[in-house]
């Protein structure tokens, strides 16, 4: 089936971005804890061939990913305290130490949501600073679960975490176990951009499965897309080009 692009603005974006640039905006994600090593290897090998910016994975697979991705354009992005962010900051920091030892290039950590909902500035900032310190200069993305927050809570969280110099604010874990979780939206991206401006980068994750939404988000200034549908998105991009 040919993918349809109805929005002229999206068509214009298609003309300005190469397949490689598109791939380099995607964190290809597989956070399934039930994979065998061999199943995981196949996922990493495919991701390497397609030049994704990173593979977002669980800590236990870090060594395998690093081994396969060595010398490629794809980095190892390890999810820390996924999916709940409910362990103490020092334990998140320790998890990061082991991830870096095993080859992590980037870190996605889930913030202390209880501290967010309590507007606990001190705890949230101390955690963020501890995470950034433990990451030893690696790219850090703070996941804030926007779908669960009010606009005031989102603003509070972003402003607090920005004091730690994290590299990205990320919209959601996209964890399917939450019964009331919604997909991330264009509105989420616009709100984050309004709050953080150019002070940090933005990653949107959760429910992004097609080229139209991907390109629209990138056009708004989103720097990275988190998705398990990266292969599908690139395939749609190729299909559109082939069909003019």
CATH of range 8-242; options 3.40.50.300, 3.90.190.10, 3.20.20.70, 3.30.200.190: 3.20.20.70
Could you report the per-residue pLDDT of 131-179, keeping only the tens digit for each? 999 999 999 999 999 999 999 999 999 999 999 999 999 999 999 999 9
* pLDDT at residue 240, as a whole number: 87
Q: What share of the chain is helix, strand, coil (3-state, %, to 5)?
A: 50, 15, 35
**What does the DSSP assignment read for 182-241?**
----HHHHHHHHHHHTTSSEEEEESS--SHHHHHHHHHTT--EEEES-HHHHHHHHHHHH
Catalytic (active-site) positions: 108, 170, 203
- Determine which of 61-65, 97-101, 156-160, 237-241 has the lowest per-residue pLDDT on average: 237-241
* pLDDT at residue 8, as a whole number: 64
- Whether pTM > 0.85 for this model: the answer is yes
Could you report the per-residue pLDDT of 93-117, keeping only the tens digit for each? 999 999 999 999 999 999 999 999 9
* pLDDT at residue 2, as a whole number: 40
Under the banding of pLDDT at 50, 70 and 90, the label for residue 3 is very low
């Amino acid at each position: 089936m040919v993918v349809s692009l109805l929005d002229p603005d999206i068509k214009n974006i298609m003309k300005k971005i190469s397949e490689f640039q598109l791939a380099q905006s995607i964190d290809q994600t597989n956070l399934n804890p039930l994979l065998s090593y061999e199943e995981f290897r196949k996922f990493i090998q495919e991701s390497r061939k397609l030049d994704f910016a990173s593979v977002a994975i669980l800590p236990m697979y870090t060594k395998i990913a690093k081994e396969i991705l060595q010398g490629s354009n794809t980095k190892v992005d390890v999810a820390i305290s996924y999916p709940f962010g409910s362990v103490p900051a020092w334990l998140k920091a320790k998890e990061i130490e082991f991830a870096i030892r095993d080859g992590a290039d980037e870190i996605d950590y889930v913030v202390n949501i209880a501290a967010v909902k309590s507007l606990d500035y001190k705890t949230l900032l101390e955690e963020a600073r501890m995470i950034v310190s433990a990451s030893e200069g690696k790219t850090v993305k703070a996941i804030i679960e926007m779908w669960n927050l009010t606009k005031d809570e989102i603003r509070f969280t972003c402003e607090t975490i920005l004091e730690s110099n994290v590299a990205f604010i990320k919209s959601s874990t996209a964890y399917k176990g939450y019964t009331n979780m919604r997909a991330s939206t264009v509105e989420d991206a616009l709100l984050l951009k309004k709050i953080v401006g150019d002070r940090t980068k933005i990653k949107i994750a959760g429910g992004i499965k097609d080229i139209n939404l991907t390109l629209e988000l990138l056009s708004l200034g989103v720097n990275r897309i988190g998705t398990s549908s990266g292969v599908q998105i690139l395939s749609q991009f190729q299909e559109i080009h082939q069909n003019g």
